[in-house]
Amino acid sequence: MLETKTPDQKERTDRAGLLSQETFEAHLASLPSAPSWLVDLKRAAWEKFAALPFPGRRDEQWRYARPRDFSLNQFGLSGDGATEDAATLIRDSHYIKNFSGEQIFSDNHLIWEDPLSADLRDKGVIFLPLADAWNKHGNILQEYFLCRTPALGAQKFEELHAAMVANGTLLYVPRGVEIEAPIIIRHWACRNRTALFPHTLVIAEDNARVDVAEVFESHSEYGKNFVCGMASIFAGSGSQVFYQGVQGWNLKTTSIHLNSVTAERDANVKTILLNVGSSYCRNEQHTRIMGPGSEVTNLALSTPAGEQEYDLRTLQTHSAPHTRSTLLYKNALFGDSRATFSGLIKVEAQAQQTDAYQTVRNLLLDANAQANSLPGLEILANDVKCSHGATTGMLDEEQLFYLRARGVTEPAAQRLLVFGFFEEVIGNIVNEELRDNLRRLVHRKLQS
């Protein structure tokens, strides 16, 4: 709010900005078949959004984040969504060979769909764009849609998301169904000054198993976009869910990704985030462990460079006994970048026999890079094992020397060591193609 406006942030003139009532009404009009519960929800959210203040300087939940003027009025909605070049986008969307289903979105619109096999559909698996699911599966959506948000400081943006979300994915895996190959979801930002509201809802019923990989990218490096996305995972008793999110928006984009996990009894959930893009990205991750025996792992890799800023906020809430959560966030910071990690482990009084771990490792590769860590614990039960660790340091001189002594150039040696630093996280991905893809993405970022 304190930043002065640069000419490039000037208000849009061709159409109404994101904050105007006109834009909201146009958005509602673009959803003619939306059920009444959804319209009510959106109207309520829009009102709350308008009433809530933007995060301020003294807001603890935004501590260490650079004060910023989101200038939301410079962005608008994607209109009719006629994408100039859907074919190119689809071609560029190739991610892995072996997948169970794929949806490709461009500026909030579905442009391509690879449906599930008939076998999975017969078993009752639902993999639909939200635009179709509102009406077809209203009962599921009314129960799960936006019912658990991270609530780690970006409440205003959660309301904005609820008010403006137009499309996204519903993935519902019924009891006992196991999906072998991953489900792929792609979101592209194409048109300049468009606001994107990707939404992914994954519901794994008891003993179900599914892997989901989401990739967020801009189609050109010039367009400037605002993204406010949400991914919610509900893991039923004994279910196994793997989620991978790749945030690769271009360097002009401001993005906010609000993720949450709810794990019931004996559920096993693993999430991994890769942050390579955006000028500013705030990533909230709230894990709620609701049932005994459940285990959740939250991993993240971030490589901010240049002027990039990553603002990572996490919360691990243990509400049931005999549970385990492990969080490992690794940041390699280049140039003048900044990464803030703020994490909390909350163990409620009834959650005895909890094991909860939280680790953040910052690697500063340039003297101007800034790493801020706010690792927190709030423990209300006594029979627990909880720890957090936060380290910030530079590359090991001896390791660098070793590589240079073998003729590796300094930048290459640096890259190699950063790669090794990340491998601890990447090695956790079971699916080989997804694992290799992540390596490739990290590599691409380090080369640039």
Partner 1 sequence: MQSQPTLEIDRDKGDFHYDTKYEYDAGVGLSEATVNYISSVKGEPEWLHEFRLKALDIFNRKPMPTHWATKDLENIHFDKIRYYLASGQRPSRTWEEVPDDIKETFERLGVPEQERKFLAGVEAQFDSEAAYSNMKEELSKEGVIFVGSTEGLKEHPEIFRKWFGKVIPIGDNKFSALNSAVFSGGSFIYVPPGVKVKQPLQAYFRNNAENFGQFERTLIIADEGSEVTYMEGCTAPKFESTTLHSAVVELIAMPGARMQYITVQNWSNNVFNLVTKRGMAMEDATIKWIDCNIGSRLTMKYPAVILRGKRARGEVLSIALANDGQHQDTGAKMIHAADETTSNIVAKSISVGKGRSTYRGLVHIPRHLKNCRNNTECDALLINSNSRTDTYPAISVRGDGNSVQHEASVSKVSEDQIFYMRQRGLNEGEAMSLAVNGFVNDLIREFPMEYSVELKRLIEIEMEGSVG
Q: Give the binding site for partner 1 (CB under 8 A).
A: 58, 60, 63-64, 349, 352, 362, 364, 367-394
Q: Which residues face 274 on adjacent strands?
A: 246, 301
Q: No. of H helices and E strands in the chain?
A: 10, 20
Residue nearer to partner 1 on the CB measure, 133 or 417 = 417
Cβ atoms within 10 Å, residue 354 = 24
Dist. CA 147–CA 294, nearest whole Å: 21
**Token pair recorded at residue 371:** 């790493």
Q: Minimum distance between the CB of residue 438 and partner 1, rounded to whole angstroms?
A: 27
Residue nearer to partner 1 on the CB measure, 112 or 357 = 357
Q: Minimum distance between the CB of residue 256 and partner 1, rounded to whole angstroms?
A: 22
Which 3 state secondary structure label does DSSP give 296?
strand
| Alpha-helical regions (H) of 214-355 | none
Q: Minimum distance between the CB of residue 182 and partner 1, rounded to whole angstroms?
A: 36
Q: Minimum distance between the CB of residue 49 and partner 1, rounded to whole angstroms?
A: 22
Dist. CA 443–CA 448, nearest whole Å: 9
Residue nearer to partner 1 on the CB measure, 133 or 371 = 371
Strands 254-263 and 280-289: parallel
Which 3 state secondary structure label does DSSP give 26?
helix
Residue nearer to partner 1 on the CB measure, 10 or 385 = 385
Which 3 state secondary structure label does DSSP give 398?
helix
Residue nearer to partner 1 on the CB measure, 26 or 390 = 390
Residue nearer to partner 1 on the CB measure, 176 or 389 = 389
Q: Minimum distance between the CB of residue 309 and partner 1, rounded to whole angstroms?
A: 13
Residue nearer to partner 1 on the CB measure, 163 or 371 = 371
Q: Which residues face 258 on adjacent strands?
A: 230, 284
Q: Minimum distance between the CB of residue 325 and partner 1, rounded to whole angstroms?
A: 14
Cβ atoms within 10 Å, residue 143 = 11
Phi, psi (degrees; rounded to nearest 5) at 104: -120, 125
Q: Are 311 and 341 in contact (CB under 8 A)?
A: no
Phi, psi (degrees; rounded to nearest 5) at 359: -135, 135
The amino acid sitting at 25 is: E
Q: Minimum distance between the CB of residue 294 and partner 1, rounded to whole angstroms?
A: 20
Dist. CA 225–CA 75, nearest whole Å: 7
Dist. CA 304–CA 314, nearest whole Å: 18
Residues 6+ away with beta carbon under 8 Å from 84? 190
Q: Minimum distance between the CB of residue 380 and partner 1, rounded to whole angstroms?
A: 5
Residue nearer to partner 1 on the CB measure, 115 or 411 = 411
**Token pair recorded at residue 7:** 């000419």
Q: Minimum distance between the CB of residue 387 and partner 1, rounded to whole angstroms?
A: 4
Residue nearer to partner 1 on the CB measure, 69 or 383 = 383
